[in-house]
Amino acid sequence: MKLTITPIDLKLKHRFTTNIDSRTVQHSHVVQIEQDGLIGIGEATAHPFYKISREKILEEGKQIEKFLTDKELTSPEEFWNQLSPLLPDNRFLLSGIDVALNDLYAKQRGMPLHKLWELEIDKLPLTSYTIGIDTLDVMKDKLKEVPWPVYKIKLGTENDLEVIQALRALTDVPFRVDANCAWSNDQLATLSRKFKDLGIEYIEQALHPDKKEEIKESMSHSVLPLFADESFKTEDDVAFCCEHFTGINIKLVKCGGLTPAKRIAEKAISLGAEIMIGCMTESSIGISAAAQLLPYTKYADLDGALLIENDIADGLQIEFGKMSYGKGNGIGCRIK
Ligand code: MG
């Protein structure tokens, strides 16, 4: 197999700010794996919070290029098991490669990946549209600019309640909020009560993942469902998160690709937890890959490609929150 990694800069339509970082460009990388004339594609973004830089992706990519060069694809699982120890602290690149291998594997069999997995796709959930942190006026304008059936609002500001009250005055559609690790259990108790009355469906990552003892108590402080995002990274976190949260936010780049993500979704469901399928700011390649997992969930947050100006691929189609798979086999995505 021949691995190629191409850096791309995704330009954001608006500056995207959370209480963790703020940017106008998202560094990403197109991962392509070729065998016998078929090409599997994947995507690996860079991310400061997870300490994944472009340099790290390109340098470690060279190692994997050598590793794959004299090998033929057997199964994505077998390769994931071999690649995972080679990229111990680079799940973002591991994900890009694993997605490309899954895409190639399904293309070799002439099938869309979700069909190969025998998943029912007749009832896909709606995806939320994210409103990042900004001044109240800008947040209101952003919401008015994109009419949508469900929004995710980034919080962790000085005036979270005021933000939600102001946005709620503009629309009755459901909101989900993402505190991005900013709250304490006391804040969670107060805000969750107020937010319940304001039509919030659930809260994502209220407390910082390092506050494990407080997290263990957080469910008793909240009247709303709680989803783990920063607390949930890999398969090792499934048991803790399914016990102390209502559900987990599965993102391919955090857990290392579709192969572990599928296992995680099935494990979480078997433990009685909810799952949501999320994304980073990424192109339609990463989004079309994550969308293969949609049949597992009621909650999707796959608006990443809608936030960028120069999407480099055609894949998952999204219209007013409603999603439909792109044409073609594998992850149903092609580079423009
Ligand atoms: Mg989040």
**Residue the block writes with tokens 């990519």:** 61
> Please, are residues 185 and 207 in contact by the beta-carbon 8 Å criterion?
yes
Single residue among 114, 130, 154 that ends a domain in this structure: 114
Residue 16 has a pLDDT of 81
Q: Do 177 and 318 fall within a single domain? A: yes
Q: What is the CATH number of the domain that holds 70?
A: 3.30.390.10
> Please, are residues 102 and 258 in contact by the beta-carbon 8 Å criterion?
yes
Distance (Å) from CA 3 to ligand 1 centroid? 31
Q: Do 288 and 301 fall within a single domain? A: yes
Q: Do 226 and 96 fall within a single domain? A: no
* Number of domains the chain contains: 2
Q: Give me the helices (H) in the chain, please.
A: 54-68, 76-83, 91-108, 113-116, 136-145, 160-168, 185-197, 212-221, 238-244, 252-255, 258-270, 284-290
DSSP code at position 112? B
User: CA 318 to CA 323: how far, in whole Å?
Assistant: 5
Residue 68 has a pLDDT of 98
CB atoms within 10 A of CB 222: 23
> Please, are residues 285 and 304 in contact by the beta-carbon 8 Å criterion?
no
Q: Do 300 and 153 fall within a single domain? A: yes
Distance (Å) from CA 255 to ligand 1 centroid? 14
Q: Do 294 and 167 fall within a single domain? A: yes
Q: What is the CATH number of the domain that holds 247?
A: 3.20.20.120
Single residue among 59, 80, 114 that ends a domain in this structure: 114
The sheet carrying 299-300 orders its strands as 129-131, 151-154, 175-178, 200-204, 226-228, 247-250, 274-277, 299-300
Greatest distance between any 2 Cα atoms in the chain:
60
pLDDT in tens, 136-183: 999 999 999 999 999 999 999 999 999 999 999 999 999 999 999 999
* pTM of the complete model: 0.95
Q: Do 152 and 263 fall within a single domain? A: yes
**Which residues on adjacent β-strands are paired with residue 12?**
308
Distance (Å) from CA 38 to ligand 1 centroid? 35
Range of the domain at 75: 2-114
Distance (Å) from CA 332 to ligand 1 centroid? 26
Distance (Å) from CA 45 to ligand 1 centroid? 16
Q: Do 109 and 130 fall within a single domain? A: no
Single residue among 66, 86, 114 that ends a domain in this structure: 114
User: CA 174 to CA 190: how far, in whole Å?
Assistant: 20
Residue 101 has a pLDDT of 98
Q: Do 270 and 162 fall within a single domain? A: yes
Per-residue pLDDT of the chain (336 residues; tens, 9 = 90+): 999 999 999 999 988 887 778 889 999 999 999 999 999 999 999 998 889 999 999 999 999 999 999 999 999 999 999 999 999 999 999 999 999 999 999 999 999 999 999 999 988 999 999 999 999 999 999 999 999 999 999 999 999 999 999 999 999 999 999 999 999 999 999 999 999 999 999 999 999 999 999 999 999 999 999 999 999 999 999 999 999 999 999 999 999 999 999 999 999 999 999 999 999 999 999 999 999 999 999 999 999 999 999 999 999 999 999 999 999 999 999 999
Distance (Å) from CA 31 to ligand 1 centroid? 24
Q: Do 86 and 136 fall within a single domain? A: no
Distance (Å) from CA 110 to ligand 1 centroid? 35
Residue 17 has a pLDDT of 82
Q: Do 129 and 90 fall within a single domain? A: no
Residue 141's region, left for phi above 0, alpha for psi from -120 to 50, else beta, is alpha
Q: Do 280 and 220 fall within a single domain? A: yes
Distance (Å) from CA 152 to ligand 1 centroid? 10
Per-residue CA distances from 289 to 114, 169, 330 (Å): 10, 35, 9
Distance (Å) from CA 130 to ligand 1 centroid? 10
Q: Do 103 and 136 fall within a single domain? A: no
